Amino acid sequence: MRTATTVPVPEASAGLPSPDTSGYVETVNLAAEAARSGFYERAGQQHLAPLWRVLGGLVPEVPKPRAVPALWRYAEVRPFVMESCTQISTEEAERRVMVFENPGLPGQSRITQSLFAGLQIILPGEIAPAHRHTASALRFIIEGRDAFTAVDGEKTMMLPGDFVITPSMTWHDHGNVGDGPMVWLDGLDMHIVNFFNASFREVYPGEVQPVHRPEGAAMAESGSNLLPIDQQWGTLTSPIFNYPYLRTREALDQMSRFRAINAWHGHKMRYVNPVNGSWAMPTLATCMQLLPQGFQTRPYRSTDSTVFTVVEGQGSSRISTPVGEQVFEWGPHDIFVVPSWATVTHSASAQAGDAVLFSYSDRAVQDKLDLFREEQL
């Protein structure tokens, strides 16, 4: 991005601070800016401001995300998730979640500028009470078993590696009927929703919602390349709300046996809505990719900000931004983020078998708005 920092900045006139040149375009004569201060002040009284002073920041030459690359090692954050159980109950907290805050966006509950991420925990016998909200949510199961989520009147049991969807404005509650904790990654589009000031939230009058569909109903209706002929689908979200890891891992393994590997992604598959073939969620793009042992991708960058969770294996990711380069060494359950237009190269360890990465991003929105752009370097 061109800035005016290469142009001499005039000294401040009496009583006026030096102008902030970060948003100026190169065509502006900074030496003449002091003489315009009276015009700017008069225009400001009518709540008007000159575009030429901010155009460079509003329309940069390339994406300039405030989010930065970041890595959270599960072994280091898990103790805080466990300790939270001694600090607050699910009844008091409603959702016991430790939020991932991007170091470039402190205090904003953002892992990227558009995405939310946090680790939620539920202990044996606990219930996370029913509520619903405009924001769509995904749950990617990290550890535990014998816990369930109920979505819009249907329960599903959850296992590590499962990808579970809570569509917009659907009642949902969670419970743990096992003997150990259940931890999952929460991913939400709340910051996209809030950008449009379109957020609503309701608490269910009871602790749990009534279940009126048998477990497995959604998968039976739409999970076998078949759809009920008389069903009308009134939402862009997939009717399948639990994509089991067992099926996903088998699909990746089978594809890797006959399909040439992609140099930039390894073997990567996207979760789809079986009704329309689009993304499984209308706002969040979700994928799973297999990196064979010792495989290294070519450099890649795209406009979607992406959150990665390691499901299996070990490896590293080299992430380059205009301010520098970082290498993240990762293992199972670690979580890392690649901001928009950062160049990334993934490498699977040569000693630890294949690596599998789950990811979600804001690409689903960008696709619909014709904003998405990528470069395979």
Decide which of 12 and 170 is more confident.
Answer: 170
Q: How confident is the model at residue 127 (pLDDT cuts 50, 70, 90)?
A: very high
Do the strands 163-166 and 267-270 form a parallel or antiparallel pair, or are they unpaired?
A: unpaired
Q: What is the pLDDT of residue 91?
A: 86
351-372 mean pLDDT: 97
Among 7-11, 89-93, 103-107, 287-291, the range scoring the smallest mean pLDDT is: 7-11
Among 28-32, 45-49, 155-159, 193-197, the range scoring the smallest mean pLDDT is: 28-32
pLDDT over 90 (residue 47)? yes
Whole-number percent of the chain with pLDDT over 70:
94
Query: Rounded to whole angstroms, what are the CA distances from 249 to 110, 145, 297?
Result: 29, 18, 20
Q: What is the pLDDT of residue 175?
A: 94
List, for residues 149-204, the tens digit of each pLDDT value.
Answer: 999 999 999 999 999 999 999 999 999 999 999 999 999 999 999 999 999 999 99
Decide which of 2 and 290 is more confident.
Answer: 290
Chain centre distance of CA 256: 26
pLDDT over 60 (residue 3)? no
pLDDT over 80 (residue 101)? yes
Q: Kindly report the number of other CB atoms within 10 A of residue 225's CB atom.
A: 6
List, for residues 228-247, the tens digit of each pLDDT value.
Answer: 999 988 899 999 999 999 99
Q: What is the pLDDT of residue 357?
A: 98
Closest CA to 332 of 160, 85, 178, 101: 160
Q: What is the pLDDT of residue 20?
A: 62
List, for residues 275-288, the tens digit of each pLDDT value.
Answer: 999 999 999 999 99
Q: How confident is the model at residue 314 (pLDDT cuts 50, 70, 90)?
A: very high
- Report the chain's mean pLDDT, rounded to a whole number: 93
Strand partners, 325: 320
What the chain holds in terms of domains, given with CATH numbers, is: 4-58 (no CATH), 70-376 (2.60.120.10)
Q: How confident is the model at residue 4 (pLDDT cuts 50, 70, 90)?
A: very low
Q: How confident is the model at residue 23 (pLDDT cuts 50, 70, 90)?
A: confident
52-66 mean pLDDT: 92
